[in-house]
Each structure stands twice: as structure tokens, then as C-alpha cells.
């Protein structure tokens, strides 16, 4: 079959912002690339007023009747002083917020934000190398008590599956998504996974490890992973050539995501804001840096469909790709 079009027709939001307000993190996971968890320097954490001003630029660039979903990642976003004020501003101005956190900070830190929980979706990443199970349970209970929506994502780190099973027993009424780790980095050998080099964002959608290169899991662990029957979320599904329903993960696992030269409409929908404020369209940096949310006038979320320059496309979960009618010549 010759593929001519891949399309995601139903979006939950009109516009999506992936925002990394800081790359600093209090964890040092062995499978995480060092640039994702820089040492904590409090004086270099973003100021809350600057984050609110940047959010206002985004909100003002979009028609009032259009919805915006902001995914806040990191680093660890709860390291930012008074971060709840930022959450409150976005919630009060019609922006839906999803936060990825490791849930490891003292409960008093989260207590400042508890009034915001009812307006945000919190995804806790459980990293068994470092996480305190009891603290995670307490945090989950705090979120639920304050009307929040929470999901726990447990990283299936090598040799530590038992900690995840223990967490599962203590969180009987909270769904736990078990995510096989695709190591971005080997701490012992200081080798970066090639997948990460092609696109750091692939980690969010790549649900199986290419174990042949890194020999990360044991035979028994791989056998357990194969027993997992976790339904992929709806937003990963898309249509090929108007007829075939499939899932983005299938393309990524089979390494068939080769769409260099195709038109990509993700730039009409999504931006990525890095910790230094640099703005890129999509999440793959295909268009390069198009501005800075703090230092330059913000162009807005609406742009044109770009040509895909990437050798492999990592964000099939949210993009619309069409075979270009114009011959594309790279280099």
C-alpha cells in the first residue's frame, strides 16, 4: 500500500502548548538524558510574573472562542516559587492545564496549589529509582480530596518492578499506567540513545524498547511487558488514506515514520516553549526557533503548514501529514 495521507481529524483542543518552564529537577534518573534534569539553582528558576505575562501573550493571540490546552513538563515544575499563581491565572482565563510532575516534593509545597487542583489535570511520573511510595500515595490522596484529576504513570525501570507492584497495591482505586522505559541515556556508559538524538519528544510515544541495542531489560522483564494490555489513548489514533484506522505507536515501533518532504499541519495547532523561552512550532523543532516568548513579540499560535525536514516524524499522535505536490529537495 502506498500511503498518501495521514490525518488526525478530531482534536480535543483547538491549540496545544507544550511548555518546559524549567529543565531543573530534583531527580537524577539513570535512563534520563542529563539535559532533562539540570542541577537546581534557585536564582535561575523562572519568575512567576514572567510566566504569567507569557501566558497572557498566548491567550491574547488566540480568538476568545478557541480553546487552549497547556501541558507543563520539565524538569520539575513544582520547583518554581508560587507556581500555583500561574496555574490559577491560566485556569481563570480559559486555558486548560495538564502538569507532569514526579510528585516527590514535601506536601507543604503542593499544599499551596491545592486550590488549583480542581482546574488542572495532574500526571505523576513514578520513578522507582528515587520515589518514596508513601509520599506518592499522600500526594494522590491530596489531589483527590481537593477535587483534582490525577493519573499515575509508573516507569518500568530495570530491576525495580516490585516497587511498582507495591505502589499498585496501595493505590487500588487510582489507575496506574505502566510505561516501559525507553532509555534516553545510559548513565553507566554515558551513551545517549539514538532515538533521543533524532527527537527528544519521541519518548512520550515510544512504548516499547529497542532492547537489542541497549540490553536494558532481562528476559523475564520483557516477558512481563509483553503481557501488558494497556489501551492506547484515543488521541494517538489517526486515519491513513481516509479508510484505515491505526495508532501512532504502531508506526513508531515499526520505524515506518519516514515522512521527510511531506507537508505537516502540526504547526497550525501546537507550539513548544523551551525553558529559555525559545518557541518552536510543533514539538520536533522542524521549523527551528521562531521566536522567544519573553524577549521578542509573540507571533501567535496560528501559522502555516510546514514541510517536514525531519528524517523521522515523532509526533504522529497530533499531526496531519500529506504528500507534498511540490517536489521537495533537501540540502
- Could you tell me the CATH number of the domain that includes residue 206? 3.20.20.70
All residues at 6 or more sequence positions from 73 whose CB lies less than 8 Å from its CB, including other chains: 18, 19, 20, 100
329 pLDDT more than 80: no
Q: Give the lowest-confidence range in 157-166, 275-284, 286-295, 319-328.
A: 319-328
Q: What is the DSSP letter of 123?
A: E
In a domain, 246, yes or no: no
Whether 110 and 76 have beta carbons less than 8 Å apart is answered as: no
- CA 125 to chain centroid, in Å, comes to 11
Residue for cell digits 511548555? 19
In a domain, 244, yes or no: no
Q: What is the pLDDT of residues 252-263, one digit of tens each?
A: 666 677 777 787
Q: What is the pLDDT of residues 119-149, one digit of tens each?
A: 889 999 999 999 999 999 999 999 999 999 9
Mean pLDDT of the chain: 78
- What is the spatial distance between Cα 182 and Cα 189, in angstroms, rounded to a whole number? 16
The whole domain housing 68 covers 13-233+268-306
In a domain, 318, yes or no: no
In a domain, 314, yes or no: no
All residues at 6 or more sequence positions from 3 whose CB lies less than 8 Å from its CB, including other chains: 240, 241, 323
Higher pLDDT, 92 or 5: 92
In a domain, 312, yes or no: no
In a domain, 331, yes or no: no
243 pLDDT more than 80: no
Percent of the chain with pLDDT over 70: 70
57 three-state secondary structure: helix
In a domain, 33, yes or no: yes
Furthest-apart CA atoms within the chain: distance in Å = 58
Q: Could you tell me where the DSSP H helices lie in 124-237?
A: 133-145, 161-170, 194-198, 211-214, 219-227
Q: What is the pLDDT of residues 195-234, one digit of tens each?
A: 444 333 333 333 334 444 456 788 898 888 888 766 555 5
105 three-state secondary structure: coil
In a domain, 3, yes or no: no
Domain count, the chain: 1
Q: Give pLDDT, residue 187.
A: 56
All cell numbers assigned to 237: 489514533
Q: What is the pLDDT of residues 4-55, one digit of tens each?
A: 777 766 666 788 899 999 999 999 887 777 777 789 999 999 999 999 999 9
Amino acid at each position: 500500500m502506498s500511503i498518501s495521507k495521514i490525518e488526525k481529524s478530531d482534536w480535543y483542543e483547538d491549540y496545544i502548548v507544550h511548555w518546559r518552564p524549567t529543565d531543573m529537577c530534583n531527580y537524577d534518573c539513570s535512563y534520563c538524558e542529563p539535559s532533562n534534569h539540570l542541577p537546581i539553582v534557585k536564582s535561575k528558576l523562572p519568575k512567576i510574573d514572567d510566566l504569567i505575562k507569557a501566558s497572557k501573550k498566548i491567550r491574547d493571540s488566540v480568538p476568545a472562542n478557541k480553546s487552549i490546552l497547556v501541558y507543563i513538563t520539565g524538569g520539575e515544575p513544582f520547583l518554581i516559587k508560587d507556581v500555583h499563581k500561574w496555574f490559577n491565572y491560566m485556569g481563570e482565563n480559559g486555558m486548560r492545564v495538564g502538569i507532569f510532575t514526579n510528585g516527590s516534593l514535601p506536601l507543604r509545597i503542593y499544599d499551596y496549589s491545592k486550590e488549583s487542583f480542581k482546574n488542572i489535570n495532574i500526571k505523576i511520573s513514578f520513578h522507582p529509582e528515587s520515589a518514596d511510595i508513601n509520599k506518592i500515595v499522600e500526594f494522590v490522596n491530596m489531589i483527590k480530596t481537593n477535587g483534582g484529576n490525577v493519573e499515575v504513570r509508573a516507569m518500568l525501570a530495570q530491576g525495580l518492578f516490585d516497587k511498582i507492584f507495591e505502589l499498585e497495591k496501595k493505590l487500588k482505586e487510582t489507575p496506574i499506567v505502566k510505561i516501559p522505559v525507553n532509555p534516553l541515556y545510559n548513565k553507566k556508559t554515558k551513551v545517549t540513545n539514538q532515538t533521543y538524538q533524532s527527537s527528544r519528544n519521541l519518548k512520550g510515544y515510544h512504548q516499547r524498547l529497542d532492547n537489542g541495542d541497549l540490553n536494558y531489560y532481562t528476559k523475564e522483564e520483557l516477558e512481563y511487558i509483553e503481557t501488558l494490555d494497556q489501551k492506547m489513548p484515543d488521541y494517538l489514533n489517526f486515519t491513513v488514506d481516509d479508510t484505515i484506522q491505526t495508532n501512532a505507536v504502531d508506526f513508531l515501533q515499526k520505524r515506518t515514520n519516514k515522512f521527510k518532504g511531506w507537508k505537516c499541519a502540526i504547526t497550525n495547532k501546537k507550539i513548544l516553549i523551551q525553558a529559555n523561552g525559545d518557541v518552536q512550532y510543533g514539538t520536533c523543532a522542524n521549523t527551528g526557533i521562531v521566536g522567544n516568548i519573553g524577549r521578542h513579540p509573540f507571533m501567535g499560535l496560528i501559522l502555516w503548514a510546514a514541510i517536514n525536514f525531519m528524517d523521522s516524524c515523532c509526533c504522529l499522535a497530533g499531526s496531519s501529514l500529506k504528500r507534498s505536490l511540490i517536489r521537495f529537495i533537501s540540502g
